[in-house]
Amino acid sequence: MADAKIFNTVSRFCANTVTKFLNLIKSFFVNTFEITSTKKSKITGVSIAAVLLLVVVFFNAQFTKLATSAKWWLLSFALVAPLIIGAYTAFKIRIKNELFSKIWHFVFFMAMPIVTMTMTECLNNIFIYDMTYLGFFANYMVILLFQFIIFAICGSFRVSLLVVNSLCYGLALAHCYVVQFRGTPFIPMDFLSITTAANVANTYNYTPTHTVIIGTLIFIFIVVLGIKMNTPKYNLITKIVSRTFMGTFFACLMCLFYFTSIFADAGVKPDFWNQSRGYRNYGFVFSFFCNTKYLYMTEPSGYDANSVGDYVSSTVDKDETNVIKPTGNEPNIICIMNESLSDLSVLGEFTTNQDYMPFMHSLTENTVKGNLYVPVIGAGTSNTEFEFITGHTTAFLPSGSNAYMLYIKNPLASLVSTLEGQGYSSWAFHPYYSTGWERVNVYTNFGFNSFAFLENLIDVSILNDYIKNSGDAEYLQSLIDTYYPDRKNMLTRQYVSDSYNYDIIIDNYENRDKSQPYFAFNVTMQNHGGYSKGASNFDECIQITSSPVYYNKASKYLSLVKASDDAFKDLVEYFSNVDEPTVICMFGDHQPNIETDFIASLLGVNNINNLTLEQQQARHITPFFIWANYDIEEKQIDKLSANYLSSYMLDIAGVKLTEYNKYLLKLSETLPVIDTVGYIDSNNNYYKWSDTSEYTEILSEYEKIQYNGIFDSKHQNNDIFFLEGYTMPELSDNEDNS
């Protein structure tokens, strides 16, 4: 009986305690929070929840197809999130206690960058706990700093959150699709190539992935939170002090970051040599922001314009001068940079149902060919083009920068000026939009006599009609069939075929000014990315037989390479029957962006983000061919980077070389490869740019010579970069370059 009384007493005590505690909690919430709603807010909340839920259900396959057990957790989150967003839209929660409201809003403001990070890193395809501690803290601080400056300007928590998060979401979403389409991160420099990206945007698949869906749901939740958020009422002194502090703090840190090396010396900088790794380890916001510091070109340490000539003369054998002496026997020269042309066997062995480049593999007579190391992977065509035409290397430019968009603002010495200085005519041809990579301005500054683009092949009204109809390949083919019925081989997918491209070159050659030796530079378009889509005008004839997995993009890509091989064979056969001596130099601009699983299988790795230095370099290899319709010494060159190729070709053609050409040829004997990954010496030793080696000094000299040629126009040593007696032509504003 006594035990029972004790038990009942304890029970009543516990019950009363729990009741009081619950009443206390209830009283706290009743006295602290006020939950309100209106008919309009409820309808809005239900509508938003319904729409978002339908979207998630419609794209549920993006979750269920994932090869991870976490897919069900992710799908569950995606299904619950619309309900939470709808509920928060329908109801408004107000904090009655003014002091508590101020504390809560301040804590919320300071904690918001973590939510923003979760959103951006979701779109970056990682979770925030995968980041390094430095990466987490750095992303938090960057986001917080921008919240600070917006608040300092407007004094509103709401505006700060909405502006910063909208900006972060837009940039992170762009990054998500850029990585998906080209395999490399979205960097600040990409804004300068927005017109180029827009030209090919309709060739890609924008179906939202699970990361896009979740990231977007988080963003919508943040927007709802921001709209519902009010800035507490602070007195005038508090407002002035807080906004002044935040603005000053932002300004001080920005000055230290951009105008000193304090942060860089402490390791706060991008992963220059592997941007993909940097974005993965240190997060999107931090990595993107850090790259903005390196958009401008700084003078190399120890640079002295007066010493540039000494660097060249100490390297070049003074056995002849660079005075213009036309002989009348100069060969015609045709240079072709073939879009995405590569031989993927350099990555590893695989088999196909037939050889995808039989002519190129068999081409040996009067041919020099080999492996060309280019500066980019999957995109960035114009950087390879820049290296070939100028002999400069993008390795000495800010990481991620694009030379055409940033640095070719004035006339520049190049392959064009070297050949024009010997009496050559010059013509450039790219069968795509003239807006891409600022090529009109760039080609003008290179000094091309004339150039042509897609607008010169197809009426602009037809191109506009095609763009308005979603850029569909079948629709464009129907337009060509209607308006140009005689151009049966003009398109492969939605791009001008290599076959038709070479027909244009042949036609231009046959109608040239025969009083001058002929020089043409061509950038093809047939093999451009967007391999997931097929078309009725494209024959997918190549299948990979060494793997049970069907790689859709890889198979389509290799089939395009086979079409390129066939077209190149026809071009070579045509010029084999031409009486005038002719040299054709053809090379690929970069490897394609195809399935990473296929690339990984060729390299024998599980993750392409953790490659050895040699494997990283292998991803930068494309083939090159220098063929002549007369006797030249046949060679197979294992390693040569793109900055040397035009000088090498000029030497084979037997034409006059500038001192810079001679310098590059001599340098290539010691360092045959200099690219954005690092450099390789003649003994096949691989180096990263962070390495200090016996070549550090000569690389420094090369960088200073290049700086003089590109940036130091006031003190440029023209004797190095131009043939003596040559001056760059000046095109008038109304000159026709079509």
Number of structural domains found in the chain? 2
Statement to judge: residues 113 and 243 lie in one domain = yes
- State whether 288 and 408 are in the same domain: no
In a domain, 393, yes or no: yes
Model confidence at 97, pLDDT cuts 50, 70, 90, reads low
Note the pLDDT of residue 736: 38
Last residue in a domain, options 278, 293, 308: 293
Q: Which residue shows structure tokens 């549920």?
A: 60
Highest mean pLDDT among 208-217, 267-276, 570-579: 570-579
What is the pLDDT, as a whole number, of residue 351? 95
62 in a domain, yes or no? yes
Among 382, 381, 374, smallest CA distance to 343 is for: 374
Highest mean pLDDT among 251-255, 302-306, 615-619: 615-619
| DSSP per-residue letters across 20-44 | HHHHHHHHHHHHHEEEEE-HHHHHH
User: What is the span of the domain harbouring residue 563?
Assistant: 325-632+645-653
Question: Rounded to whole angstroms, how far apart are CA atoms 586 and 582?
Answer: 13
- Token pair of 146, please? 């921008």
Residue 308 lies in a domain: no
Is residue 631 pLDDT above 90, yes or no?
A: yes
* Higher per-residue pLDDT: 100 or 227: 227
Q: Facing residues of 518 across strands?
A: 425
- 673-674/518-523 β-pairing: unpaired
pLDDT of residue 706 exceeding 60: yes
How sure is the predictor about 491, in pLDDT bands with cuts at 50, 70 and 90? very high
Q: Indicate if 28 and 96 belong to the same structural domain.
A: yes
176 and 63 within one domain: yes
**CB 229 within 8 Å of CB 161:** yes
Specify which residues 544 forms β-bridges with: 352
In a domain, 659, yes or no: no
- Residue 698 included in any domain: no
Query: For 699-728, what is the mean pLDDT?
Result: 89
Question: Out of 3-17, 176-190, 666-680, which region has the weakest mean confidence (pLDDT)?
Answer: 3-17
Distances in whole angstroms, Cα of residue 179 to Cα of each of 317, 526, 529, 633: 46, 22, 13, 43
Pairing of strands 673-674, 678-680: antiparallel
378 shares its domain with 487 = yes
Per-residue pLDDT reduced to its tens digit, 21-80: 766 766 665 666 667 778 888 888 888 889 988 988 888 888 888 777 778 888 888 888
Q: Are 337 and 587 in contact (CB under 8 A)?
A: yes
Buried b vs exposed e over 670-701: b needs ≥16 C-beta within 10 Å? ebbbbbbbbbbbeeeebbebeeeeebeebbbb
Q: Which residue has the tokens 């962006």?
A: 593
pLDDT band at 568, cuts 50/70/90? very high
Nearest to 493 by CA among 459, 452, 525, 450: 525
CA 460 to chain centre: 28
370 & 430 share domain: yes
Beta carbons of 85 and 49 less than 8 angstroms apart:
yes
Residue 669 in domain: no
* Helix, strand or coil, per DSSP, at residue 623: strand
pLDDT at 533: 82
Q: Which two tokens stand for residue 39?
A: 């008919």
| Residues 61 and 114 both lie in one domain | yes
Which pLDDT value is given to residue 1?
56
- Rounded to whole angstroms, the Cα distance separating 731 from 729 reads 6
> Residue 470 region, left (φ>0) first, then alpha (ψ -120 to 50), else beta?
left
More confident residue, 213 or 204: 213
Same domain assignment for residues 133 and 249: yes
Q: pLDDT at position 282, please?
A: 83
Sign of CA dihedral 502, 503, 506, 507: negative
Mean pLDDT for the chain?
A: 85
Please give the model's pTM, rounded to 2 decimal places. Answer: 0.73
Least confident residue range of 168-182, 268-282, 356-370, 605-619:
268-282
Do 342 and 276 lie in one domain? The reply is no
Q: Is-contact 407 437, C-beta < 8 A? A: no
pLDDT exceeds cutoff 50 at 733: no
Going by pLDDT thresholds of 50, 70 and 90, the confidence category of residue 685 is very high
Tell me the CATH number at 360. Answer: 3.40.720.10
Q: Is the pLDDT of residue 704 over 50?
A: yes
Residues 283 and 336 grouped into a single domain: no
Contact 175, 186 (CB under 8 A): yes
On whether the CB atoms of residues 679 and 699 are closer than 8 A, the answer is yes
| Total length of the chain | 738
pLDDT of residue 732: 40
Q: Tokens for 24?
A: 């206390």
The tens digit of pLDDT for each residue in 409-463 reads 788 999 999 999 999 999 999 999 887 877 888 899 999 999 999 999 999 888 8
Residue 366: per-residue pLDDT: 96
Q: Kindly state the average pLDDT of the residues 674-678.
A: 94
> What is the predicted pLDDT for the residue at 699?
94
What's residue 265's pLDDT?
Answer: 63
Element spanning 491, H or E: strand 491-492
| pLDDT attached to residue 512 | 92
Coil, strand, or helix at residue 544? strand
Report residue 622: phi and psi, to 5°.
Answer: -130, 165
Residue 706 lies in a domain: no
Tens of pLDDT, residues 108-160: 888 889 889 888 888 888 877 677 787 888 889 889 889 888 888 888 888 88
Does residue 167 surpass a pLDDT of 60? yes
User: Does residue 31 sit in the same domain as residue 156?
Assistant: yes
* Block residue for tokens 């629709």: 475
- Structure-model confidence comparison of residues 255 and 630, the more confident one: 630
Give, to the nearest 10 degrees, the angle between helix 133-154 and helix 98-123.
130
pLDDT of residue 204: 67
Same domain, 649 and 607: yes
Residue of 287, 200, 266 lying closest to 528 (CA atoms): 200
pLDDT of residue 558: 96
HEC states along 423-473? CCEEEEECCCCCCHHHHHHHHHHHCCCEEECHHHCCCHHHHHHHHHCCCCH
Residue 92 lies in a domain: yes
Q: What is the pLDDT of residue 273?
A: 47
The 3-state DSSP class for residue 682 equals coil
Q: CA 516, 518, 519, 524 torsion: positive or negative?
A: positive
